[in-house]
Amino acid sequence: MSTTDDHAGDRPPATGSLAHRVPDLGALELLLAVARLGSLGGAARELGITQPAASSRIRSMERQLGVALVDRSPRGSRLTGAGALVTDWARRIVEAAEAFDAGAQALRDRRDSRLRVAASMTIAEYLLPGWLIALRAERPDTAVSLHAGNSAAVAERLLSGEADLGFVEGLTVPAGLDSAVIAHDRLIVVTAPSHAWARRRGPLAAAELAATPLILRETGSGTRQVLDAALGGPARPLMELSSTTAVKAAVVSGAGPAVLSELAVGEELAMRRLVRIPVHGIALARDLRAVWPTGHRPTGPARDLLSLTRG
């Protein structure tokens, strides 16, 4: 006795999207299980659903297609002629879906096997190494590449798709990027012990700092951006260098004073190779930020690294 006598003459709508005219994968998998097992109850158990739910799904599919698919009897369930043909088509669809899923998983695996990070110099040199060691413990198979540059270069790499996650240290978030504050930092004035400022008894005035040529990071760096904003205009360059390490070396050699991150000069201050100079009337605090293209929240290893920066 057919379970679908009331619906065998129904016709599916001729219009509408393909999704409305083709049964979903779950229904097709159920039909394949009925064909293989010869039992609607057995197919339901195999797929982890109740028999009433399986019957309802078959009836719904028959209404959708406008043909009877399964005849039920005390001896079990068997396919109608139309059901056998639909089952053959269903098998191809399910096999194609399995291939699609395998391909998508391969893409995810490839994505998750690498992480491209772009970071401004202070973060790249003094914070990222610890974060990457922690990431390695969580994702030992992920290969990480790091590009260190100024904040403008970080933004460029993210927006061109050459980096998955970035870190910047300027006052503003570059256009086209979303961000999250992951740490705080302070810039300080440093000189060699032989510099005249090292023998001062009182703090340096902001106006004197603004009037003094300094050893600076290049334009576009977060450190330079913060300093210029704090001074109310561009700092006067004694020389411009493209890395924090180069700036420190020049200051240690006695070439002149500089303004650098506290994170970058801890060892030199402890060993008295550099001297911290107090400054009055100027705010040099800044936020350190993780950044990514607007509307594209980090996923996979990038998401894990972002979580570690907040730990």
Mean pLDDT of 111-140: 88
Q: What is the pLDDT of residue 189?
A: 97
Q: Are 147 and 197 in contact (CB under 8 A)?
A: no
**Least reliable range by pLDDT among 8-17, 64-73, 191-200:** 8-17
Quick: pLDDT tens for 2-56.
444 444 445 555 556 776 788 889 999 999 999 999 888 899 999 999 999 999 9
Q: Is the pTM of this model over 0.75?
A: no
Q: Is 216 helix (H, G, I), strand (E, B) or coil?
A: strand
Of the options 1.10.3470.10, 1.10.357.20, 3.40.50.300, 1.10.10.10, the CATH number for the domain spanning 18-110: 1.10.10.10
If you average pLDDT over residues 181-187, what whole number do you get?
93
Taking CA atoms, 31 is separated from 45, 63, 127, 205, in Å, by 13, 14, 56, 82
**Cα–Cα distance for residue pair 121/68, rounded to 1 Å:** 69
Q: Look at residue 8 in the predicted model and tell me its pLDDT.
A: 44
81-112 and 25-37 helices, crossing angle to 10°: 120
First-last CA distance in the chain:
65
DSSP 236: P
Domain edges within the chain: 18-110, 115-309
| Residue 265 confidence class, pLDDT cut points 50, 70, 90 | very high
Instruction: Please state the rounded mean pLDDT for residues 103-124.
Output: 78
Backbone angles phi and psi of 17, in degrees to 5: -75, 160
pLDDT at 104 over 90: no
Does the pLDDT value for residue 109 go beyond 80? no
Contact criterion met (CB below 8 Å) for 187 and 87: no
The CATH class of 115-309 is alpha beta
What residue has token string 């005035």?
A: 205
pLDDT of residue 20: 75
- At 70-97, the pLDDT tens digits run 988 777 788 899 989 999 999 999 888 8
Report the distance separating Cα 184 and Cα 203, nearest Å.
Answer: 23
Which residues are 179's β-sheet partners? 291
Distance CA 114, CA 300 (A): 9
- R_g (Cα) of the chain, nearest Å: 33
What mean pLDDT comes out for the span 224-246? Answer: 92
